[in-house]
Every structure is written in structure tokens, then in C-alpha cells.
Homo-oligomer: A and B are copies of this chain.
Amino acid sequence: MFSKKILVLGGDGFCGWPTALHLSESGYDVTILDNLSRRIIDLELGIRSLTPIQPIDIRIDTWEKVSGKRLGFKMLDIATDYQELADFLNELKPDVIVHFAEQRAAPYSMRGAKEKCYTVNNNISGTHNILAAIVSLGLDTHLVHLGTMGVYGYTGAGFQIPEGYLPIEVKNDAGEREPREILYPTRPGSIYHMTKSLDQLLFQFYAQNDGIRITDLHQGIVWGTQTEETRKDPYLVNRFDYDGEYGTVLNRFLVEASIGHPLTVHGTGGQTRAFIHIQDTVRCIRLAIDNPPKHGDRVEILNQVTETLRVRELAKMVSEISGVDIQNVTNPRNESDENDLDVSNAGFLSLGLEPITLDAGLLDETIELSTLYRDRIDMRKIPACTAWNQDRAEVLNDASRSDDV
């Protein structure tokens, strides 16, 4: 049987690792490419995954023992080494490239000039190098890219967010209304989110000019840690971030709950966010691979989300399970305190996704992990301290001074 050859860029990371295992389990021939940058940033920030993740070679050997399947591995920086990337792609000739190899934390991308520049250079050069190499090598590779819901911006749109393309009306020369469909006009709220908006324009160009098949997945905030495959052996455990830079909001609440720390809600917690469980992430990637767009001049865009909730609703749910209080803290982000979010995920539903929704049972699993590894929690790393701009920095400073009193 023909088995698609799949290259997972960033396959050592939080989404990449469970995706690589899921695709391998599903019978694809999987190779991971990673420069281990996420582990290096751990060292830089003095943080570590709550779960004790194994070195990549032990991960791969363990998967072989458990499944009988061998993952390929290539250590390479796709952003800084175009020629080595092109040589590698030319040798492998993957049918599909799944692209997770971007710096993916909004707070980290806002820390300072160094991190802003790194995020832009790494994400844009990396994505563009892949596209340029596919064209230059004449490959017919389907590119599946992880985008973010954040490209749509975090102010209420006033309508349901469509999947990438917005129907509008413009006035033509004769002054008559004319319907058009445009790439959604993005309004990203951080440097990280902005890089995914830039990616969209790279994809638009390469689809239109060279006919590359591209699927861009605008993902919500991921919660949960383990998938069917990562559960199969402790050495396969997925990484779990709870710190102020890389920890996503629900996972951070669950860690706080496990140690009896108040759940820290930014501002009023009135921000509505879109969520997805890590198990659904890996299923969505597989659905995207199995349903490539036709050759044409348009990028396929799907919203990879399963539900929306206000942050304070999340906190309330975790508080009820755990008995831990909620604490409203100053929001370091430059955003509205309250926003609505209504988002379409019709694409994945039509492809057969049966969403996992927020459920106490699944939260339990993460609380258990947090409890099991509570000795590894560094409380000092939990607060989100990176201010979005000068104004926010001053508000944060004032708040911390009044805390001192």
C-alpha cells in the first residue's frame, strides 16, 4: 500500500510531537525535522516542561519499541539554512509537509526587541524558505501550516468569523454595490500573531503564482497534554508549559489548582477565546492531510477550534472542580477587557471531526499530571510579566508597587 511520506517541521514541540506519533500510528511514513529551539528557549528562560520530556532520540527509540515504527529525524534550522533545507527536501521529497516550526508564544514575542526580531525573522524566513524550496525543486508537496485564531484579532467582529475569507460588498465605478470575497483583513494583537498574518500573505502569493497546495489552520488555544499515542509510555509524554510566557491559559489554571495557588485571571477575564483539545489538534492535522485542496490559486483556510469560552468561565469551572479561588490581576496585554467571539468551524465538522469539549474528566487528567509532577513546579515562573507596550508596562509597575504596600 502506498504510504504518504510526511515531514513534520517542529516535530519535537507541544503540537508537533503528538502529531508525529498520531500520523505514524495512522500508517504514514513520518520524519521529524526540528532545531530543538523550544528546548533551548527553556534554558534561556530558566523554565522547563512540567512533564519530564525525554531527549528526542529516546523519544524516537521508545516509539519504535511501542509501535514497531521508526520515525526519521533531522536536526536543522529551516529559517537560517535555506540550502541545507532544500538539499534535505530534495532527498526526502515529502508528499506533505506539516509546518509547526515557528516561535509560538505571544508573550515571548513581546518581551523585548531581541525576541520580537527573533520571532519575525524565524517565522517569516522559515515559512518562506519552505515555499521557495518547494517551487525551486519542482515538488508537488502539500503544505499544512499551523496558523492561529489570533490573526482575526481579539476585538468583537460583530459577525461570525468565517474560515479565512470574508464576503464583503464594495462600491464599483458606477456606484453600485458589488459582492467580493477577500482574505480576512487581519488585525493581530502581538508580534507572534502578526507573523501568522504575514504567513497568510506568503501563502496567498505562492498559491496564486505557483499553484502550491496549502492548507492554513487557524488554531485556537490548546488545552490538555496527552493523546492516545503519548499515553502509551511515560517516555513518550508530551511537554506541558505552565509558565507566564509559554503556558496557555487553561493549562496554567490547572497547575495553579493543583498546588492551591489562586487562579490568576487577567483583567476581568471577559476575553472570549477559542479552544481545542490537543487530541483534536492531531486529528485535525490528519484530516487536513487526507483532504488536500485542489491545485488552484487559493489557499485552503480552516478554523481549528471546537468551542469558545470567556476566560472567567474557564476559571470558574476550574475553581469549582478544585476549590481554589480566583484572583483578578492586571492584564499585561494591550487588548479589550471584554470581547465576543463567534467563529465558524464548519470545515472540520464537515470532514468528520467529532469535537472533544471541555469536560471535568479531561481536566482531571491534567490535574493528575500536575499533582504527580508538583515538585517540578517553579511558582516564580507562573505570573505573566511581559507588558505589551509602554502604557501596559506602567500599569503593571503601578500594580506591583501597590502590591508591595
Where the two chains meet, the residues of A that have a C-beta atom closer than 8 Å to any C-beta of B are 82, 86, 112-114, 116-117, 120-121, 124-125, 128-129, 132-133, 135-136, 138, 158-160, 166-173, 177-178, 182-183, 185-189, 191, 194, 197-198, 201-202, 204-205, 208-211, 334, 342, 388-390
* Residue from B112, B132, B205 in contact with A117 in the complex, judged by beta carbons closer than 8 Å: B132
A194 to B136, CA, bound (A): 18
CB pairs A–B below 8 angstroms (13 shown): A113-B136, A117-B128, A120-B124, A121-B125, A124-B124, A125-B125, A135-B390, A169-B170, A182-B185, A183-B185, A198-B201, A209-B388, A210-B389
User: Which residues from chain B contact A159 at a C-beta distance below 8 Å?
Assistant: 170-173
A133 to B120, CA, bound (A): 14
* Residue from B210, B334, B342, B390 in contact with A138 in the complex, judged by beta carbons closer than 8 Å: B390
User: Which residues from chain B contact A185 at a C-beta distance below 8 Å?
Assistant: 182-183, 185
Knowing A120-B124, A136-B113, A209-B334 are in contact, say whether A197-B188 is a contact too (CB < 8 A).
no
A132 and B158: CB pair below 8 A?
Answer: no
A112 to B121, CA, bound (A): 20
A115 to chain B, nearest CB (A): 9
* Residue from B113, B136, B208 in contact with A133 in the complex, judged by beta carbons closer than 8 Å: B113
* Residue from B132, B160, B170 in contact with A173 in the complex, judged by beta carbons closer than 8 Å: B160
B172 and A210: CB pair below 8 A?
Answer: no
B158 and A172: CB pair below 8 A?
Answer: yes
A302 to chain B, nearest CB (A): 20
**Nearest CB to that of A114 among chain B residues?**
B82
User: Which residues from chain B contact A204 at a C-beta distance below 8 Å?
Assistant: 187
B125 and A113: CB pair below 8 A?
Answer: no
User: Which residues from chain B contact A390 at a C-beta distance below 8 Å?
Assistant: 135, 138, 210
A190 to chain B, nearest CB (A): 8
Interface centre among A121, A125, A172 (most CB of B within 10 A): A121
User: Which residues from chain B contact A170 at a C-beta distance below 8 Å?
Assistant: 158-159, 166-169
* Residue from B125, B172, B191 in contact with A205 in the complex, judged by beta carbons closer than 8 Å: B191
User: Which residues from chain B contact A178 at a C-beta distance below 8 Å?
Assistant: 158
Interface centre among A113, A160, A171 (most CB of B within 10 A): A113
A197 to B197, CA, bound (A): 11
B201 and A194: CB pair below 8 A?
Answer: yes
**Nearest CB to that of A173 among chain B residues?**
B159
B197 and A173: CB pair below 8 A?
Answer: no
B182 and A171: CB pair below 8 A?
Answer: no
Knowing A159-B173, A183-B185, A205-B188 are in contact, say whether A117-B113 is a contact too (CB < 8 A).
no
B209 and A202: CB pair below 8 A?
Answer: no
User: Which residues from chain B contact A169 at a C-beta distance below 8 Å?
Assistant: 168-170, 177
A160 to B171, CA, bound (A): 10
A117 to B124, CA, bound (A): 10
B121 and A135: CB pair below 8 A?
Answer: no
A132 and B160: CB pair below 8 A?
Answer: no
**Nearest CB to that of A138 among chain B residues?**
B390
User: Which residues from chain B contact A117 at a C-beta distance below 8 Å?
Assistant: 82, 125, 128-129, 132
